[in-house]
């Protein structure tokens, strides 16, 4: 039986809601013809064309377009406000991604930062590289695990000093090489959750921190909800844990990193209970949880990244860290469904290898070691004349649209 067309919906930049069908459904193959049909969209906008990004070609200016699937394809549905035709006169010479001539009202970019989501297998290690301050969030598994590339990755970058090292919680796949980090790099401040874990890994890392603290080589803190830390042009706002945390995942250090207008969320392995608590605590404080980039909690497990939390953050990009073919089945389908529900682009270290996000405080850019985005819902940069919704047509993969 031929697959049936399925209706899908996308919201673009909180402005345009539109619906489309992809025929022959959600299972397209190389060499197969597929048809995209625009079914409806919000009043006040005009459909411009279907556009294929790799060949940089317009597929059709009609509501329907038929094309041959030959590879992973990113197809854009391009819209413009009906007012643009009257007021803006098209793109003209009015901008090259923020180069606005004598317009002094535009904010100046900050020093760039690069966030490295390191491919360390079924573990976590994320490095934030700034002009003057560096931060390491978790350190992967122990160095004798062949998948852990934390130390060589940092050495290849030429890193000598790390201003802040964060062990989100004391599971081996997060703090496994933290003691080696203390031994090989000049570390300023160490954050740990304070949860005591009865394992050899915990004992080894705890001893290394104690020795470095006794020698006066580092400073140490156990941050709690409401704490803030400013490092250069970056601010960290702590959302978890609270003093009376429960289990080991409940104790995960979770925070928002703000770099100008670009915001990043990190939650360790925090799960549903603490995600709900973070929503409530932020509301009580009047803090927004809205972020641009979210590192998925607990490796893309169904226990984290719940729909209420995703809806509170509305990240335009989500990144998870997991090992290829891992025994846990990460990322779980529930997680994938929640990412799709909030229209977030999705990348994973099991699919994309090392992932980097570079921000100048105004916009950010994602780069991957290999492959393409698993799901594509690209953010729209304010100020462009046209609004763009991106759809990923990926043959014989888990997702045929996004």
Residue 353's pLDDT is: 94
Q: How confident is the model at residue 334 (pLDDT cuts 50, 70, 90)?
A: confident
Residue 335: pLDDT over 80: yes
Residue 147's pLDDT is: 57
Question: What percent of the chain is predicted at pLDDT more than 90?
Answer: 36
Residue 176: pLDDT over 90: no
Q: Which of 324, 319, 317 lies closest to 379 in space, CA to CA?
A: 317
Helix (H) and strand (E) counts in the chain: 9, 23
Q: What is the pLDDT of residues 269-279, one digit of tens each?
A: 888 898 999 99
Using DSSP bridges, classify how beta strands 345-348 and 317-320 pair: parallel, antiparallel or unpaired: parallel
Residue 73's pLDDT is: 65
> CA–CA distance from 145 to each of 121, 122, 173, 298 (Å)?
9, 11, 10, 20
Residue 96's pLDDT is: 32
Residue 317, burial from CB neighbour count under 10 angstroms (0-12, 13-18, 19+): buried
Chain-wide mean pLDDT for the chain? Answer: 79
> Which residues contact residue 73 at a Cβ distance below 8 angstroms, ignoring those fewer than 6 apart?
52, 53, 54, 67, 392, 393, 394
* Total-model pTM: 0.69
Look at 76-80, 242-246, 379-383 and tell me which has the smallest mean pLDDT: 379-383
Q: What is the pLDDT of residues 308-326, one digit of tens each?
A: 999 999 898 999 999 888 8
The predicted model gives 220-231 an average pLDDT of 92
Q: What is the pLDDT of residues 12-38, one digit of tens each?
A: 555 566 677 766 544 556 677 778 787
Angle at 360 between CA 355 and CA 366, to 5 degrees: 20
Q: What is the pLDDT of residues 343-368, one digit of tens each?
A: 788 999 999 999 999 998 888 899 99
Residue 6's pLDDT is: 53
Residue 2's pLDDT is: 46
Q: Which of 114, 98, 111 lies closest to 358 in space, CA to CA?
A: 114
Residue linked to tokens 């860290």: 321
Q: How far is residue 171's CA from residue 108's CA, in Å, rounded to a whole number?
A: 41
Give the DSSP per-residue string, 345-383.
EEEEHHHHSSEEEEE-SS-EEEEESSS--SB--PPPPTT
The predicted model gives 241-259 an average pLDDT of 87
Q: How confident is the model at residue 41 (pLDDT cuts 50, 70, 90)?
A: confident
Q: How far is residue 220's CA from residue 231's CA, in Å, rounded to a whole number?
A: 16
> Which residues contact residue 1 at a Cβ distance below 8 angstroms, ignoring those fewer than 6 apart?
none
The two structure tokens encoding residue 289 = 């949880």
């Amino acid at each position: 039986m031929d697959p049936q067309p399925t209706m899908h919906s996308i919201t673009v930049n909180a402005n345009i809601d539109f619906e489309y069908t992809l025929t022959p459904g959600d299972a397209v193959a190389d060499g197969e013809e597929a048809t995209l049909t625009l079914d409806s969209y919000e009043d006040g906008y005009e459909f411009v064309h279907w556009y294929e990004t790799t060949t940089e070609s317009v597929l059709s200016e009609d509501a329907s377009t038929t094309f041959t699937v030959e590879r992973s394809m990113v197809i854009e549905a391009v819209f413009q406000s009906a007012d643009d035709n009257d007021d803006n006169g098209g793109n003209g010479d009015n901008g090259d991604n923020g180069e606005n001539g004598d317009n002094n009202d535009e904010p100046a970019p900050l020093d760039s930062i690069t966030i490295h989501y390191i491919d360390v297998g079924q573990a976590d290690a994320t490095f934030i590289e700034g002009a003057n301050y560096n931060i390491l969030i978790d350190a992967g598994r122990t160095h004798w695990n062949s998948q852990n590339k934390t130390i060589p990755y940092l050495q290849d970058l030429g890193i000598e000093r790390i201003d802040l090292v964060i062990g989100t919680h004391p599971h081996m796949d997060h703090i496994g090489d933290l003691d080696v980090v203390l031994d090989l790099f000049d570390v300023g401040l160490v954050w740990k959750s304070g949860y005591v874990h009865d394992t050899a890994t915990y004992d080894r890392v705890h001893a290394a921190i104690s020795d470095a603290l006794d020698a006066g080589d580092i400073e140490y803190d156990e941050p709690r909800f409401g704490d803030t830390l400013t490092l250069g042009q970056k601010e960290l706002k702590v959302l978890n844990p609270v003093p009376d945390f429960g289990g080991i995942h409940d104790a995960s250090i979770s925070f928002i990193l703000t770099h100008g207008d670009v915001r990043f969320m990190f939650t360790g392995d925090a799960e549903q209970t603490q995600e709900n608590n973070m929503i409530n605590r932020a509301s009580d404080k009047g803090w927004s949880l809205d972020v641009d980039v979210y590192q998925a909690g607990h490796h893309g497990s169904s226990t984290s990244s719940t729909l209420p939390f995703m809806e509170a953050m509305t990240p335009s990009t989500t990144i998870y860290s997991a090992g290829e073919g891992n025994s846990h089945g990460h990322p779980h389908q529930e997680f994938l469904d929640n990412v799709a529900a909030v229209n977030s682009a999705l990348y994973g270290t099991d699919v994309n290898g090392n992932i980097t996000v570079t921000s100048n405080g105004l916009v950010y850019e994602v780069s991957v070691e290999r492959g393409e985005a698993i799901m594509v819902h690209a953010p729209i940069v304010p100020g462009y004349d046209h609004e763009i919704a991106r759809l990923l047509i990926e043959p014989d993969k888990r997702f045929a649209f996004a």
